[in-house]
Amino acid sequence: MSRKECIPSHIAIIMDGNGRWARQRGLIRIRGHEKGTESVREITRECAKKHLKQLTLYAFSSENWKRPKREVNLLMKLLKEYLIKERKEIEENNIRLTAIGRINELPEDVQRELTISMEESKNNTGMVLCLALNYGGRTEIVDAAKEIMRKVKEGKLRLDEITEETFREHMYMPDMPDPDLLIRTGGEMRISNFLLWEVSYAELWVTPVYWPDFRKTHLEEAIRDYANRERRFGGLIE
Ligand code: FPP
């Protein structure tokens, strides 16, 4: 790998372990999510400084609605506050904010703040910060398949024209580069329905560190580990 290739273009993160972080300290779970917001801030800033093309954060999965209503409400409140508070930081770091997932099912006030943040940052030319919100990888593939089928039905697309590229074009964010590195905090060895289509060739890096404790040094450790790997994409290296 050349020097430039050593830094992944796109890092995706499953931010896990907030609840356990809080429990370890005898605190309620939401305190872990609150503290996790500090990690979001530091890691976003560091990734922007390293000139990544994209950072995608799994902030709320389509399965997270199953949590107690109180926790869901507090997570939504936290998200809304984050969107409002972080506008200045996003602007200063030339970040463009986007989101993937069934956004239209989020509470209206969260949708409103999200729209404002996306609109305000749309001309920024630095890193893309993509928040996966009410996101599920299988749902994304189903949504893409439905849209493709609709086009076939309407005669806009022929069955024999459908390729992997067609699917990519119908994902929530068609122009996103596939993640090169998928980081999971909190130690579990699972993908948890995250970016199923997009992580096909991503390098995985799992750390036992809980998300609220995840800092620049851990990020750099993950990037160093990535840089030492040989990516073959199913082929052979001469
Ligand atoms: C998983 O930890 C984490 C979440 C479900 C939410 C992630 C949210 C944040 C980091 C804060 C808000 C996000 C933004 C972008 C401002 P868990 O609760 O499953 O932890 P556990 O496995 O230890 O119980």
Using alpha carbons, select from 210, 206, 235 the residue that is nearest to residue 221. 206
For residue 125, the CA-to-ligand 1 centroid distance in Å is 28
Query: Looking at the predicted structure, is the pLDDT value of residue 197 above 90?
Result: yes
Question: Which pTM value belongs to this model?
Answer: 0.95
Q: Given CATH 3.40.1180.10, say whether it is the number of domain 15-203.
A: yes
Using alpha carbons, select from 137, 88, 156, 75 the residue that is nearest to residue 117. 88
Query: Looking at the predicted structure, is the pLDDT value of residue 25 above 80?
Result: yes
Q: Which residue has the higher pLDDT, 232 or 53?
A: 53
DSSP bridge pairs for 206: 184
- Our answer to whether residue 64 is catalytic in this structure is yes
Q: Which of 16, 93, 134, 180 is catalytic?
A: 16
Strand 181-185: give its sheet, edge to edge. 96-100, 128-135, 54-61, 10-14, 181-185, 203-207
Query: Looking at the predicted structure, is the pLDDT value of residue 2 above 50?
Result: no
- Our answer to whether residue 160 is catalytic in this structure is no
Angle at 49 between CA 48 and CA 53, to 5 degrees: 40
Percent of the chain with pLDDT over 90: 93
Q: How far does CA 165 lie from the centroid of its chain?
A: 21
d(CA 113, CA 85): 11
Q: Evaluate: CB of 82 within 6 angstroms of ligand 1.
A: yes
Query: Looking at the predicted structure, is the pLDDT value of residue 74 above 60?
Result: yes
Q: Evaluate: CB of 214 within 6 angstroms of ligand 1.
A: no
Q: Evaluate: CB of 179 within 6 angstroms of ligand 1.
A: no
Q: Give the pLDDT confidence score for residue 58 in this predicted structure.
A: 98
Q: How far does CA 102 lie from the centroid of its chain?
A: 14
Q: Which residue has the higher pLDDT, 229 or 183?
A: 183
- Note the pLDDT tens digit of each residue in 127-183: 999 999 999 999 999 999 999 999 999 999 999 999 999 999 999 999 999 999 999
d(CA 232, CA 222): 19
Q: Which of 14, 29, 30, 33 to mutate to test the pocket of ligand 1 (most atoms within 8 A of CB)?
A: 33
d(CA 105, CA 62): 10
Query: Looking at the predicted structure, is the pLDDT value of residue 89 above 80?
Result: yes
Confidence at 235, pLDDT banded by 50, 70, 90: confident
Q: Which of 64, 143, 178, 193 is catalytic?
A: 64
Specify the residue for token string 């948890």: 192
Q: Give the pLDDT confidence score for residue 5 in this predicted structure.
A: 59
Mean pLDDT, the chain, as a whole number?
A: 95
Ligand 1 atom with minimal separation from the 22 CA? 23
Whether the Cβ atoms of residue 47 and residue 128 lie closer than 8 Å to each other: no
Q: Give the pLDDT confidence score for residue 3 in this predicted structure.
A: 43
Give the closest residue (by CA) to ligand 1 atom 1. Answer: 16
The structural domains of the chain, with segments of one domain joined by +, span 15-203
Using alpha carbons, select from 103, 16, 99, 86 the residue that is nearest to residue 44. 86
Q: Which of 25, 211, 214 to mutate to test the pocket of ligand 1 (most atoms within 8 A of CB)?
A: 211
